[in-house]
């Protein structure tokens, strides 16, 4: 339970509490936790699509990191294509949402919108997702399901299974997701413990409990200072980067896969400000 800050009140007389627990993002594969956060606006839902793919990739890479030679495990490698495509397309969709509905995100400065456009273009170049791209072909033809053409002409698709490229793309997706997390544009909700009270975080670090009547908010009841759920997401990205590095360490003879490449990203995760 949140810890009350004794004697502290807002100018309107609302009680203020402090929740010092680490934020947890709801995992639909696990039993629902009453303290776990869920998305509450369009951009947070798109971000959580990325989270689902991050969790799948982390699980797969953790298994792959136990292999002596991950490059030789082509069946395991090709399965990575499906969640990796989901993650990359999820990152792309977050960029598209912010660019296509710029008026809905008025908190962002013009300079931020400009940087978002530039990063989106760079990401599209770094992680090709178009219909004829290698990642799309592997996912569509031998990853998400087995296509007839993949049986008739297997080399056309198995020859495009590329672990070094997948690891580079995981890092690129992780870097852009961390950048997107820095934006204060997400809204979150969690169970309040009361059926007529809704807990919302629309500004990072501030939870407002609202009294709900007939499905509509009537009045604020209290404010809680808490860490944004974005820190829970950042922690899971950190785990993914770590698993990516563990697999890359088994592939040191492949050009461009030195584990040091993602250390800068890990520092961003470890050194983020509260």
Structure tokens at 30: 């696990």
Both 61 and 165 in a single domain? yes
pLDDT digits (tens, 9 = 90+) for 73-106: 999 999 999 999 999 999 999 999 999 988 888 8
Q: Which residues in the chain belong to E strands, given as ranges?
A: 3-9, 15-19, 38-39, 188-190, 197-203, 206-213, 216-226
Residues 177 and 256 in one domain: yes
Residue with structure tokens 């395991």?
76
pLDDT at 253: 63
> How is residue 101 written in tokens?
């509905």
Let me know: does 168 contact 256? Beta carbons within 8 Å: yes
Q: What is the mean pLDDT of residues 209-218?
A: 90
Q: Is the pLDDT of residue 226 over 90?
A: yes
Same domain assignment for residues 151 and 195: no
Q: Is residue 20 part of a domain?
A: yes
Task: Grade residue 68 by pLDDT with cuts at 50, 70 and 90.
Answer: very high
Burial of 143 by CB count in 10 Å (0-12 exposed, 13-18 middle, 19+ buried)? buried
222 and 113 assigned to the same domain:
no
**Domain ranges, residue 18:** 1-36+187-228
Same domain, 168 and 85: yes
Same domain, 106 and 235: yes
Do 67 and 124 fall into the same domain? yes
**Which tens digit of pLDDT belongs to each residue from 40-59?**
999 999 999 999 999 999 99
Strands 38-39 and 15-19: unpaired
State the pLDDT confidence band at 273, using cuts at 50, 70 and 90. Answer: very low
Name the burial class of residue 167, with classes exposed (0-12), middle (13-18) and buried (19+) by CB atoms within 10 angstroms of its CB. Answer: buried
The domain total for the chain is 2
Residues 177 and 196 in one domain: no
Residue 274, domain member (yes or no): no
Residue 52 lies in a domain: yes
Domain identity same for 173 and 159:
yes
In a domain, 272, yes or no: no
**pLDDT tens per residue, range 15-26:** 999 999 999 998
53 and 173 inside one domain: yes
Higher pLDDT among residues 192 and 253, named by residue: 192
Mean pLDDT, the chain, rounded, equals 88
The pLDDT of 210-215, averaged and rounded, is 90
The set of residues, in sequence order, having a beta carbon less than 8 Å from that of 188 and lying 6+ positions away, is 37, 38, 39, 40, 44, 200, 201, 228, 229
Between 273 and 218, the more confident residue is 218
In a domain, 139, yes or no: yes
Instruction: Please report the pLDDT score of residue 258 as a whole number.
Output: 54
CA–CA dist 217, 240 (Å, integer): 38
Neighbour order of strands in the sheet with 3-9: 3-9, 15-19, 216-226, 206-213, 197-203, 188-190, 38-39
First to last CA, the chain: 21
Query: Considering the domain boundaries, does residue 273 fall inside one?
Result: no
Asked if residue 176 and residue 261 are part of one domain, the reply reads yes
Per residue in 135-155, pLDDT (tens digit) is 999 999 999 989 999 999 999
Domain identity same for 136 and 193: no
């Amino acid at each position: 339970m949140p810890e009350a800050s004794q004697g502290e009140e807002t100018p309107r007389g609302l009680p203020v509490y402090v929740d010092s627990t680490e934020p947890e993002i709801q995992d639909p594969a696990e039993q629902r936790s009453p303290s776990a956060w869920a998305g509450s606006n369009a951009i947070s839902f798109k971000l959580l699509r990325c989270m689902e793919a991050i969790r799948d990739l982390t699980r797969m890479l953790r298994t792959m990191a136990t292999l002596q030679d991950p490059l030789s495990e082509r069946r395991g490698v090709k399965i990575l294509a499906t969640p990796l495509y989901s993650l990359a397309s999820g990152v792309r969709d977050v960029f598209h949402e912010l660019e296509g509905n710029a008026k809905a995100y008025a908190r962002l400065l013009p300079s931020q919108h400009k940087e978002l456009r530039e990063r989106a273009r760079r990401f599209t170049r770094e992680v090709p997702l178009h219909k004829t791209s290698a990642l799309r072909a592997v996912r569509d033809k031998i990853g998400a399901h087995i296509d007839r053409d993949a049986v008739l002409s297997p080399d056309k698709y198995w020859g495009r299974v590329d672990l070094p490229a997948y690891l580079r793309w995981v890092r690129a997706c992780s870097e852009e997701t961390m950048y997107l997390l820095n934006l204060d544009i997400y809204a979150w909700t969690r169970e309040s413990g009361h059926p007529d009270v809704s807990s919302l975080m629309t500004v990072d670090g501030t939870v407002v409990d609202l009294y709900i009547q007939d499905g509509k908010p009537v009045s604020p009841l209290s404010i809680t200072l808490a860490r944004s759920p974005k820190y829970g997401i950042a922690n899971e990205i950190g785990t993914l980067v770590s698993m990516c590095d563990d697999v890359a360490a088994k592939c040191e003879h492949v050009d461009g896969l030195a584990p040091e490449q993602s250390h800068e990203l890990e520092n961003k995760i470890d050194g983020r400000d509260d």
